[in-house]
A and B are shown apart, each in its own frame.
Chain A
Amino acid sequence: MAILGHCFEILAMPPMVGEILIGYCSQSRFQVHKILRDRTTGLLTSTQAQDLTQRIIGISSADQTRVNITHERRSNTRFALNRITTSGESEDLQITVTCTFGRRRAAITTNRIDAEGLAKAVEKAEEMARLSPDDPELVPELLPQELLEIEGFFESTAHLDARGRADVAASAIEAVSAVGDLSAFGFLDVRAQVTAVANTEGLFGYHPSTWVSYALTVRTDDGRGSGWDRAGHRDWSAVRAQSVHENAIRRALNSQGPRKLEPGQYTVVLTPHAVSSLVGLLAGALNARSADEGRSAFSAAGGGNRRGETIIDHRLSLTSDPAALGSAPFESDGLARRRTMWIESGVLQNLQTSRYWALRSGLRPTGSSSSLVLDVDGLTDRNLDRIVASTERGLLVTRLHYIRSIDPRTITYTGLTRDGVLMIEDGKVAYPVNNFRWNDSPLFVLNRIDALGSPERVSASRVVPAIRARNFNFTSISEAV
């Protein structure tokens, strides 16, 4: 077991009760031959990924074989009640072998990467594929793809070690303590990863990337106020932890002692995080096959789909842009990812189309609707504060929570507000109100927009603006703080 450097360091204040103070390390074994760590990433090199995939492909007797490798180093620090509770690092290397015989295919994933483990994985994948029924929709493995050059790996993130993470937690705890009568609860999650794919047709893709997410909840010690913020990026140096601290503390203080407000339809100002939640729901429903099969919000009456129809506000465009967000330039089957316009100036342009459905419908396969950018055409009100300042009366909503589908025909979901709902009067935050349950659809909300901010990076793979929307549908009060 090789242990990574700086595996564990904690700068913790002791808990008063119920201490969970744990650090941990974990690492897989690498026995096929030594992992040659790339000097920059500390992960499997491209040459070695190619060598390993070719060795595995070499022992497969399947008509076609694909090998996917995920080599990930993950580290994190969690804190609660102004104390670090867990901190750890783990590393794992997983290999998936996918074998195809004619129209039969099966996949085996294993972390047993000694030579025998891999040989067994190939053998099992072959056996399961051979014995499976024919799949009439099976498409052959892809030929080599022209892949975009995408930079998604940042040393600032990869080098964020236990000490660095503890410093972030300590600065949050310090900021909260400086105000007094507040407690900090947070999670800093850091990943460095290599993904690789290769197949018998000569396709090869290799992509190193980093990912970081930092979230902070601040609660008043009397339980009357709660605030939250989160920042995420591929590049830790682009994350402003200080701003996360300030926002979470301000929201905790501003949300104290909420006044009772009856449910109903209200104008809302949604933070980019709240908008991000809604955009994710919309993107998840953009599926060509479901639409063409008549079981989607994008099915057209009488058959077919709603491509070409205006579905949201004309100032908004939704794209997947892997290059802009440092995402992998290929899907798990190796399909090259390109910038894809889903909705352009409010008009539905494309739906996620699998390779099989593309063959059937004469379209190009699109890849997945991830790495999302919700762009704003024309002038915007720039940022959240400006939108608040231009709002006569409305509710500022920090965050949407526990979101679940209630009607796929209209993409209607239910959920709650959390960590601060503030009444805006005459351009100013006037007072906090209670949390609400809401039932609404991103299709409806994004059609009732009357102000738009500039798109902001809310996570490693999402860019969206703040918005102001009319008639957001709150259906009942939540007493939760």
Chain B
Amino acid sequence: MNRREFIERSAVAAVGSALASRSLPLINVRNPVTAAEGDHKELVSQAIASALSAGAQYADSRVALYMNRRLSTRENRTSGISETDSIGLGVRALVDGSWGFASTAELSKEAAARAGAQAASVGRANAAVARSQVRLAPVESYGDVTWRSAFTIDPWDISTADQLDYLLNLNATALKNPAVSFVSSSFHFVKVVQTSATSEGTVAVQTLVRTNPGMAITAKSRDSVDFQNRQWVLYPAGRGYEYVLERFTPEAVEEWASEAAAMLAAPSIEPGKYDLILLPSHLWLTIHESIGHPTELDRAIGYEANYAGTSFLAPPADVIGKLRYGSPLMNIVGERTSEGALASIGWDEEGVRASEWPMISEGVFVDYQTTREQVHWISEYTGVHRSHGCAHCDSWSTIPFQRMPNMNLLPASTDVTLEDIIGATDRGILIKDRSSYSIDQQRYNFQFTGQVAWEIRNGRLGGMVRDAGYQANTLEFWNSMDMIGGPSTYEVAGSFYDGKGEPGQVNPVSHGCPVARFARANIINTRQSR
């Protein structure tokens, strides 16, 4: 059977079955991916109209296509080539102060209408048993708007064959280093095409591209008793294939390969107290775990207690404007606006325009991450009456809830360089790139390790050391920050896979930061720590 016959016969079979069962009519055999933007606007409008006519006071809806391309190689071979796509419509309705949600993969006006009505009926069922009501913070009506993330080359415009060749060439470069025994590399590209609307008059068509290049280089000893993995060499970005061409280069691979070789020969760290200098390629994850998660407002209230835990940053009334989180050098902003960052967006799932706001000012905690319904929980203490736009869902079939925005540690106003900081350090450790990370369920005690570490003695960068990690308490750690780099040291890194919620949803997020120094940190030797 050829493809045309397959489609025709399947259509006939579907019609027959549908007639027989009086359900699941055959519709919409045209390609939903190429359907005009106007069609998707019609669908979300239909879902919202249907929810409103079924009694909802507010509704939001989205039709979203998620495309994922994953390519992997090791040494001189391809080890995986796959693409996944998923498309559908989700709708959320607020009825008498309670939420309802429904979704469908069927892209027709009828299905959108059914989903809207279903969401409203679920909301009504909730309202019947709820004694308090969701209250949404006000938002402007933006009309028809479009937004596109900062990419210049769509990864889907490059063939998988070319992308695999690119990876295999980089592998060959790594293997030129005689100490390198193994190398694996990968690309994960994501493209989201989303049309979302709210009943308050915002219809946003947004296109997001994300790029995640990966490489792991292994150097091993000749007698097979020792090996070192150099990985997490680059971080994902809200950019296109141009990010690969700029950063995933043969020159960079040569450097990573020589680091793998040097790590194998490096002496093991002597544990103890050192001044700890963290490069942005490492510090972003410490920010994510010890500042990002504790400042999730729903987590601080207790909603995540059975999963990742709660937060030491509670209750809000006791900490907003009062808690000294870190040293006066510490300024943290939340934002969803910076170009190329993973959580950046034009409008969030509730029609809130992306913005930037202070979260920690000169070391004092001032605000959490919020969605529209969370604003009034803390507005008495923050004086803020608008949402920070943190509503996100990871699929058309999942419910939007509060997720982490980009959260950045601001650099010093003067241009303090890495060299300045090293020069001012008598006994220190410099750590680059992320490795192991672990933090307790209220975000007090953490332990991190990096990919590469160097010793600093008497203001000079010394040799590489291995097995270095640090253990600290969140507030003690951030209060020990005594030097911070200027704008020229600022970099952005992040992750595709920040997890939260039950059932779990993932969220891409970036963190920008300069180099920073932490006085007299507790440095452990991971080899001896057992």
Show the binding face of A for B, using Cβ within 8 Å: 1-3, 7-35, 55, 58-59, 74, 76, 78, 80-81, 85-86, 88, 90, 92, 96, 105-112, 114-120, 122-124, 128-129, 131-137, 183, 185-187, 189, 215-217, 219, 226, 228, 293-295, 299-303, 401-410, 412, 414-416, 418, 435, 437, 439-441, 444, 473, 475-481
Contact = CB atoms under 8 A, between A and B. Distances in A.
Contacts of B221: 294
Interface stretch (B21-29, B145-153, B425-433): B21-29
Contacts of A14: 129-132
Contacts of B522: 476
Given A106-B83, A108-B82, 6 more contacts: A7-B122, A10-B125, A18-B301, A86-B399, A301-B225, A404-B438
B440 A12 contact: no
Looking at B10, B31, B86, the one whose CB has the most chain A CB atoms below 10 A away is B10
A133 B78 contact: yes
B77 interface: yes
12 contacts: A1-B115, A34-B21, A85-B303, A86-B399, A92-B397, A106-B160, A124-B83, A137-B79, A219-B305, A302-B224, A407-B526, A409-B226
B66 to A, nearest CB: 10
B313 to A, nearest CB: 12
Contacts of B177: none
A308 B202 CA distance: 66
Interface in B340-391: 373-374, 377
A128 B125 contact: no
Contact of B130 (A19, A92, A117, A404): A19
Nearest to A1: B104
B78 A293 contact: no
Q: What are the nearest 9 A-B pairs in CB distance?
A: A14-B131, A34-B17, A294-B224, A24-B101, A115-B10, A480-B442, A29-B106, A33-B13, A131-B161
Contact of A31 (B14, B133, B134): B14
A473 to B, nearest CB: 6
A435 B443 CA distance: 13
Contacts of A133: 77-78, 161, 164-165, 168
Interface in B166-187: 168, 181-182
Interface string B29-55: 111100000000000000000000000
A1 B112 CA distance: 9
A377 to B, nearest CB: 27
A476 B441 CA distance: 15
B444 interface: yes
A26 B81 contact: no
A405 B526 CA distance: 10
A401 B440 contact: yes
B404 interface: no
Given A16-B132, A106-B81, A473 B2 contact: no
Contact of A12 (B2, B129, B133, B182): B129
B224 A300 contact: yes
B28 A303 contact: no
A187 B306 contact: yes
A131 B160 contact: yes
A226 B77 CA distance: 50
B212 interface: no
B305 A217 contact: yes
A112 B134 CA distance: 35
A444 B130 CA distance: 51
Contacts of B469: 406
A96 B467 CA distance: 42
B23 A27 contact: no
A363 B161 CA distance: 33
B133 A28 contact: no
Contacts of B304: 80
A293 B181 contact: yes
Interface residues of B, number: 119
Interface string B458-499: 000000000101010100000000000000000000000000
Contacts of B445: 416, 435, 437, 476-480
Contacts of B440: 401-402, 416, 418, 435, 437, 478-480
B286 to A, nearest CB: 14
Contacts of A129: 81
Nearest to A228: B306
Interface string B113-151: 011001100100110011111100000000000000000
A401 B441 contact: yes
B252 interface: no
Contacts of B195: none
Contacts of A300: 224
B309 interface: yes
Contacts of B273: none
Contacts of B30: 116
A444 B132 CA distance: 52
Nearest to B128: A10
A15 B132 contact: yes
Given A34-B23, A109-B83, A215-B306, A78 B502 contact: yes
B268 to A, nearest CB: 11
Given A80-B306, A90-B397, A476-B471, A9 B27 contact: no
Contacts of A440: 530
Contacts of B225: 299, 301
A473 B300 CA distance: 30
B423 interface: no
Given A33-B10, A80-B305, A136 B130 contact: no
A34 B438 contact: no
Given A34-B14, A401-B441, A475-B529, A10 B126 contact: yes
Contacts of A405: 436
B419 interface: no
B7 A444 contact: no
Given A406-B469, A408-B229, A59 B399 contact: no
Contact of B227 (A24, A409, A475): A409
Contacts of B165: 133
B7 to A, nearest CB: 4
B99 A116 contact: no
A218 B471 CA distance: 28
A409 B528 CA distance: 13
B502 A76 contact: yes
Interface in B268-320: 297-298, 301-307, 309-310, 312
Given A55-B10, A115-B10, A19 B132 contact: yes
Contacts of A299: 224-225
A135 B79 contact: yes
A128 B399 CA distance: 33
B84 interface: yes
Given A34-B23, A137-B77, A418-B441, A28 B298 contact: no
Contacts of A111: 85-88, 105
Nearest to B5: A59
Contacts of A30: 24
A59 B111 contact: no
B449 interface: yes
B364 to A, nearest CB: 21
A170 to B, nearest CB: 11
Contact of B125 (A9, A19, A35, A479): A9
A469 to B, nearest CB: 13
A110 B85 contact: yes
Contacts of A301: 223-225
A29 B397 CA distance: 13
A332 to B, nearest CB: 12
Contact of B503 (A74, A123, A228, A403): A74
Contacts of A418: 309, 440-441
A21 B223 contact: no
A430 B467 CA distance: 38
Nearest to A399: B441
Given A15-B132, A135-B77, A302 B223 contact: yes
A112 B87 contact: yes
B471 A26 contact: no
